[in-house]
Amino acid sequence: MEPTTFPQDLVQAQRDWIRTYEALAHPGLSCNTELRRRLLELSAQIWWHPFFTAGGGRVPAARAELRRLARERAQRTARAS
């Protein structure tokens, strides 16, 4: 499969989604409602991004690739810190 070039704002939204989802996994947080709202906002932003709505043909594969790329970049950033 050829690599896909994603817009930077889309990759950042996916990274934010991952961070928000991970934050929700920690029990006892008092800001669960805020995090859930943020997760919904990011989900809509990613789902309806022009990159996907333009009809590229490989949408499911591209969405999976986006998640993989965002996780990889987040891990790289965490290691560099």
pLDDT at position 30: 78
Average pLDDT per run of 10 along the chain, which is 81 residues long?
Answer: 79 96 84 93 95 76 93 84 70
Cβ(62)–Cβ(1) below 8 Å: no
Global confidence as pTM: 0.83
C-alpha to C-alpha distance for 66 and 54, rounded to whole angstroms: 16
Stretch (H or E) spanning 18 = helix 8-24
